[in-house]
Amino acid sequence: MIRRNSSKTKGFKLSISTRRASYVEFIPQFLTTDRATILGYLIKSAEGDVTTEQRNAWLAQIDILHASLSSTHNGIICFEFIIPRIGKRADNIIKIGNQIIVLEFKVGATRYDNKDCRQVIDYALDLANFYEACHQATITPILVATNAPDSSQNLSFTETGVRPTALANKHSLRTLLHQILPKFITTIQDDLRWLASRYQPTPTIIEASQALYRGHDVTEISHSEAGADNLGATTTAITQAIEQAKAKNRKVIILVSGVPGAGKTLAGLNLVCQRHKTDADDKEHAVFLSGNGPLVKVLQEALARDEVTQAAAHNLKSNKESAHCKAKAFIQNVHHFRDDNLATLEAPVERVVVFDEAQRAWNQAQASKFMQKKRGQSDFNQSEPDFLIGVMNRHVDWAAIVCLIGGGQEINTGEAGLEEWLCALRDNYLHWEIYMPSHINTQEYLPHFDITTLGNRVTQNPALHLSVSLRSFRAERLSTAVSAIMSTDSHLAQIELAAVLPRFPIVITRSLAQGKAWVEQRARGSERYGLLASSGARRLKPLGINMDTPIDPCHWFLNDETDVRSSYYLEDAASEFDAQGLELDWTVVVWDGDLIHKPGSWIYRAFKGTRWQNINEKSAQKYRLNAYRVLLTRARQGMAIVIPEGDPNDPTRLPEFYDSTWRYFLELGLPILRDEYIHSEEWQATGTSTTETLDQTVISLE
């Protein structure tokens, strides 16, 4: 073992640290380094000009840490430690052995603000979830409000994971650190390995779009347990196909499939960002198009807000209106793109278009009906895929279309699926080359289409299928488990759920209040949670959920817990239309009588007027089933499924409408959530810890 303060370590430089933080040093050497030298490192590493306020804050921080640490603390200290997924820097990280301290300083603060507490625990959770060297560490987030009063601490939790946030002022920090930090020696190699450890984030699509928009590459923000390799291979395959089309003046359509949450939207956003970065002469335009109105609104708003925030952080000017205009040029609603190109026969400025959720494009009947009623186009007789390919076909030389397609994701009347795109290519665009995944010829994607009718212009590439779900970094097999549940294959569902449950808690309950309490206790920091219900769930009103009242997706998905319109309030439920393509950390999925399990199949219903009616049309049945498939795959960290008990005195909410579905989920082996555990002291302790296994003291089987 090598002591940090031995002669062998004097002058030892942690050059690798520059990738992680502005300043990194062994604690004994930090204690003997004067404040001016440390400040010089911080100023040199800063982006842009450093304000006087920031200089003074750093100096106060250095002085407090000099007074709070001792030479017996043999570890390392980091200043301005980068947290890439969040896009911020933690003020300090202290590592000694298996103990990690995350410090957030609020110099001059006289109180411990809840917002600041969330900030520091967000840093700690990010390290625990995504920084490989922290997976088995004990992490303590500490908020240091320098002028606040003393605060009592509860540091009894000692398991691997993230402790509750501790509070300290400039005087009490020393005592707190001496309570937490061990006094033993580890090797230099151990600390170097920790600094060099892989950061493997799984951002939400909102976080990912912001990072890509700022100029990051998809490989920088992707969790790489097979998923990033898959995503990287897909990105390469798409890019190669486009470059070949460009070099040979050909037109090409590229079909990209994937399981829910596998990163199809991320791949499309990354492609558009890459082509914007490499398009120096501005002759090649690329755009991301989606028919998913809520997704487009949320991403546009998120990009605009982030641009304003980033500009303010660097003392630059940016207004929301101009930021919105830029975001709209990057991400557009496909229907606006369609309408713009109805007014002209000229080729669009875009050479590369990415259609997200292309399976939701309208068939001819739905497109013609809409165009006649809403756009006055009485002679419109094309499907939406036929028209959109025709728009890009106006280019005289090359063009590329990328279709991002999810199997089993059609959720609305007239959504045509992949087959409509291939029918248009077969019947009207014989010169277009087609790239598709090798496995695409399945019942899930092509129940009626024969791909041999496309001739020899098809290139099949397995890299064009994203098979690993990235939405939940805790359960990559969640989507396959949900598919098995929806197919009513209880044996397969039990197998898949057995692989999911150890790290991804799913609980069932008859009580909406229990489901809400469970996610509120589980969520930490700014982890987002919310209510989800089917658009056909029209008899949840007695529970306080009115699916006839639309949410504002921007407020619901982006605003914080102080806004009653946000998902955090657990008052307004998002439907499959609001949530498709987006995600939350924790969800409460509320089941209604629009989908009732019976042995081996489902009963599909719609509420009309004053009573339920059976849905007999196959396509409408598919939409209802897919609605619940979408709802059950929105969570990143866990979900509660609420199946109400019904009311024997209400003919629209009879218990038998819900009991058979409840028995099905019991058969699958999902744990029942019990109220007495939520409110117990034992639950309070476990509910605030990050654990790798489902806590069986919280839930149990009947």
282-295 pLDDT tens trace: 567 889 998 889 99
In a domain, 2, yes or no: no
Q: What is the Cα–Cα distance from 479 to 634, expressed in whole angstroms?
A: 10
The continuous run of DSSP H or E covering 145 comes out as: strand 138-145
Positive or negative, the CA dihedral 544, 546, 550, 554 is positive
Rounded to 5, what percent of the chain is helix, strand, coil? Answer: 40, 20, 40
Lowest mean pLDDT among 415-419, 497-501, 567-571, 654-658: 415-419
User: In the predicted model, is pLDDT for residue 24 greater than 90?
Assistant: yes
Domain's final residue, options 409, 439, 466: 466
Residue 432 sits in the same domain as residue 524 = no
Q: Which of 81-95, 189-203, 395-409, 608-622 has the highest mean pLDDT?
A: 608-622
Q: What is the Cα–Cα distance from 17 to 481, expressed in whole angstroms?
A: 41
Residue 99: which domain range? 7-195
Residue 506 sits in the same domain as residue 549 = yes
Structure tokens at 268: 């499309």
In a domain, 22, yes or no: yes
Residue 406 sits in the same domain as residue 532 = no
What is residue 326's predicted lDDT score, i.e. its pLDDT? Answer: 83
Domain's final residue, options 466, 500, 517: 466
Higher pLDDT, 535 or 417: 535
In the chain the first and final C-alpha atoms are separated, in Å, by 53
Residue 121 sits in the same domain as residue 171 = yes
Task: Tell me how many domains the chain contains.
Answer: 3
In a domain, 300, yes or no: no
In a domain, 589, yes or no: yes
Q: What is the Cα–Cα distance from 195 to 605, expressed in whole angstroms?
A: 56
> Within 10 A of 495 (CB to CB), how many other CB atoms are there?
14
CATH code of the domain containing 360: 3.40.50
In a domain, 91, yes or no: yes
Residue 459 sits in the same domain as residue 484 = no
- What is the side-by-side strand order in the sheet with 611-614? 595-598, 601-608, 611-614
In a domain, 310, yes or no: no
- Cβ 584 vs Cβ 635: under 8 Å: yes
Short-list 286, 235, 232, 272, CA closest to 256: 235
Lowest mean pLDDT among 173-177, 461-465, 467-471: 467-471
Short-list 130, 136, 187, CA closest to 160: 136
In a domain, 269, yes or no: yes
CA 380 distance to own-chain centroid:
38
Average pLDDT, stretch 150-173?
A: 81
Residue 36 sits in the same domain as residue 77 = yes
Radius of gyration of the chain (CA): 27
Strand partners, 249: none
Average pLDDT, stretch 681-691?
A: 36
Q: Are strands 672-673 and 350-356 parallel, antiparallel or unpaired?
A: unpaired
- Cβ 167 vs Cβ 132: under 8 Å: no
Residue 432 sits in the same domain as residue 560 = no
Residue 409 sits in the same domain as residue 511 = no
Q: Are strands 635-642 and 584-590 parallel, antiparallel or unpaired?
A: parallel
What is residue 471's predicted lDDT score, i.e. its pLDDT? Answer: 62
pLDDT in tens, 27-48: 999 999 999 999 999 998 887 7
Average pLDDT, stretch 383-410?
A: 89
* pTM of the predicted protein model: 0.81
Residue 414 sits in the same domain as residue 516 = no
In a domain, 307, yes or no: no
Predicted confidence band of residue 447 (pLDDT cuts 50, 70, 90): confident
What is residue 157's predicted lDDT score, i.e. its pLDDT? Answer: 54
Residue 265 sits in the same domain as residue 387 = yes
Domain's final residue, options 436, 466, 496: 466
Residue 416 sits in the same domain as residue 341 = yes
User: In the predicted model, is pLDDT for residue 3 greater than 90?
Assistant: no
Residue 442 sits in the same domain as residue 498 = no
pLDDT in tens, 411-421: 666 677 788 99
What is residue 700's predicted lDDT score, i.e. its pLDDT? Answer: 27
Q: What is the Cα–Cα distance from 266 to 472, expressed in whole angstroms?
A: 14
Alpha-carbon torsion, ordered 410, 411, 414, 420, to 10 deg: 0
